[in-house]
């Protein structure tokens, strides 16, 4: 079970990897992980298209059932975009499932 403090630490690691490179971000995933962007199937290397390196920030984490919901803030030319990244981890702490949506 993940604690709130573990979820926050993971959120910082997650956004740090997003801001570093596609290979660093992809390394967070378990083999065969499920990734969805706005309800459609995707691969881990597509997530940085929505959360560009150098413009993404960790806002908060909350526990939600068996997973974590990370709020990632993306700086845009015309303001900010908060996104909900719903993450489920495997026993080794790697991402087994990720869903990215606009936060409401």
pTM summary value? 0.91
- pLDDT under 70: residue ranges of the chain: 1, 103-104
What value does the CA radius of gyration of the chain take, rounded to a whole number of Å? Answer: 12
Give the integer Cα–Cα distance in Å for 95 and 39. 17
Count other Cβ atoms within 10 Å, centred on residue 38.
Answer: 11
The torsion region of residue 55 among left (phi > 0), alpha (psi -120 to 50) and beta comes to alpha
What pLDDT score does 37 carry?
92
Answer whether 63's CB lies under 8 Å from 4's CB: yes
- Domains (range + CATH), the chain: 4-102 (3.10.450.50)
Between CA 34 and CA 29 the distance in angstroms is 9
């Amino acid at each position: 079970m993940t604690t709130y403090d573990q979820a926050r630490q993971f959120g910082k690691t997650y956004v740090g990897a997003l801001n570093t490179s596609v290979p660093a971000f992809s390394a967070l995933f378990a083999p065969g992980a499920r990734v969805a962007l706005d309800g459609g199937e995707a691969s881990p290397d597509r997530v940085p298209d929505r959360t560009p390196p150098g413009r993404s920030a960790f806002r908060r984490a909350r526990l939600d059932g068996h997973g974590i919901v990370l709020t990632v803030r993306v700086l845009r030319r015309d303001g900010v975009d908060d996104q909900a990244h719903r993450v489920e981890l495997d026993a080794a702490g790697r991402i087994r499932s990720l869903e990215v949506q606009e936060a409401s």
